Chain A
Amino acid sequence: MRSRPWDVYVTGVAETPLGEVTGQTELSMVALAAREALAEAGLGLKDVDGLFVNYLGEQGSVQVGEYLGIQPRYADSTDLGGAAFAAFVHHAMLAVAAGRCEVALVAYASRQRSRRVRRLGETPDPYTLIGQFQAPHGLPRPIGHYALIAARHMHVYGTRPEHLAEVAVAARRWARLNPKAWVRTPLSVDDVLTSRMISTPLHRLDCCLVTDGGGALVITGRAVASGAAKRPVRVLGAGESHTHWQISQMPDLTVSAGAVSGREAFAMAGIGPDDVDFTEPYDSFTITPLLAFEDLGFCGRGEGGEFVSGGRLGPGGELPSMTSGGGLSYNHPGALGVQLLVEAVRQIRGEAGERQVPRHRVGLVHAVGGCYSAASTVILAQD
Chain B
Amino acid sequence: MDHDPLTTWFWQGAAEGVLLVQRCEECGHHQFYPRPFCLRCESDRVVPIEASGAGTLYSFTVVHVSTGLDVPPPYAVGLVTLDEGPRLLARLVGLDHTIGDRVTVRWRDGNPHPVFGPAARPASR
Instruction: Please list the residues of chain A having a beta carbon within 8 angstroms of any beta carbon in chain B.
Output: 119-121, 125-129, 132-134, 136-140, 144, 147-149, 151-152, 155, 196-202, 246-249, 253
**A139 pairs with B89, CB closer than 8 A:** yes
* B55-102 interface (Cβ within 8 A of A): 58-69, 71, 75, 77-79, 87-91, 99-100
Per-residue 0/1 for B1-30: is the Cβ within 8 Å of any A Cβ (1 yes, 0 no)?
111100100000000000000000000000
A residues near B78, Cβ cutoff 8 Å: 148
Please, which residue of chain B has its CB at the minimum distance from the CB of A254?
B59
> Is B89 a contact of A247 with CB atoms below 8 Å?
yes
Q: List 16 A-B contacts (CB under 8 A).
A: A120-B68, A126-B2, A132-B7, A134-B89, A137-B90, A138-B77, A144-B63, A144-B77, A148-B61, A151-B60, A155-B99, A197-B64, A198-B64, A198-B65, A201-B61, A248-B87
Instruction: Decide if A140 touches B65 in the complex (CB within 8 Å).
Output: yes
Residues in chain A near residue B3, CB distance under 8 A = 126-127
Question: Is there contact, CB below 8 Å, between A253 and B65?
Answer: no
The reply to whether B1 and A127 form a contact with Cβ atoms under 8 Å apart is yes
CA–CA, A246 to B100, complex, Å? 21
List B contacts of A199 (CB < 8 A).
Answer: 61-65
B58 touches A152 (CB 8 A): yes
User: Which residues does chain A contribute within 8 Å of B64, judged by CB atoms?
Assistant: 196-200
Report the separation of the CA atoms of residues A138 and B99 in the bound assembly, to the nearest whole angstrom.
Answer: 19
B61 touches A139 (CB 8 A): yes
Q: Which of A139, A149, A202 has the most CB of B within 10 A?
A: A139
- Residues of B contacting A151 in the complex (Cβ-Cβ under 8 angstroms): 59-61, 99
A246, B89: Cβ atoms closer than 8 Å: yes
CA distance A136 to B18 in the complex (A): 18
Q: How many Å lie between the Cα of A136 and that of B7 in the bound state?
A: 15
- Distance of B65 from chain A, by nearest CB (Å): 6
Instruction: Beyond A120-B66, A151-B60, list 10 extra A-B contacts (CB 8 Å).
Output: A121-B67, A126-B1, A127-B4, A128-B4, A133-B88, A137-B90, A139-B63, A139-B77, A144-B63, A249-B87
Also in contact, A121 and B68, with CB within 8 A (given A152-B99, A155-B99): yes
In contact, B67 and A140 (Cβ under 8 angstroms): yes
Q: A119 to B90, alpha carbons, bound, how many Å?
A: 21
Bound CA–CA A139/B69 (angstroms): 10
A residues less than 8 Å from B99 (CB atoms): 151-152, 155
Once bound together, how far apart are the Cα atoms of A248 and B78, in whole Å?
9
Asked whether B100 lies within 8 Å of A155 as measured between CB atoms, the reply is: yes
A253 touches B75 (CB 8 A): no
A246 partner residues in chain B, CB cutoff 8 A:
89
Q: Which residue of B lies closest to A197 (CB)?
A: B64
A197 and B1 alpha carbons, distance in the complex (Å): 36
Contacts A151-B60, A152-B58, A248-B79 given; indicate if A132 touches B91 (C-beta within 8 A): no
Complex CA–CA separation, A197 to B62 (angstroms): 9
Q: Are the CB atoms of B67 and A248 closer together than 8 Å?
A: no
CB neighbours (8 Å) of B59 from chain A are: 148-149, 151-152, 155, 253
Quote the shortest CB–CB distance from A372 to chain B (angstroms): 13
Q: If the complex has contacts A127-B4, A144-B77, A151-B59, are A138 and B71 also in contact, measured as CB distance less than 8 A? A: yes
Inter-chain CA distance A126–B8, complex, in Å, is: 10
| Residues of chain A lying within 8 A (CB to CB) of residue B113 | 136-137
Looking at the assembled complex, report how far the CB atom of B32 sits from the nearest CB atom of chain A, in whole angstroms: 8
CA distance A183 to B99 in the complex (A): 35
Contact A138 B69 (CB under 8 A): yes
The 8 A-B residue pairs whose C-beta atoms are closest, nearest first, are A147-B61, A152-B59, A155-B99, A127-B2, A121-B68, A121-B67, A138-B69, A200-B62
Whether the pair A200, B1 counts as a contact (CB closer than 8 A) is no
Inter-chain contact A144/B58, CB cutoff 8 Å: no
Q: Complex Cα distance A120/B7, Å?
A: 26
- Minimum CB–CB distance for B3 against chain A, Å: 5
In the complex, what residues of A have CB within 8 A of residue B1's CB? 125-127
Bound-state CA distance A132–B75 (Å) is: 19
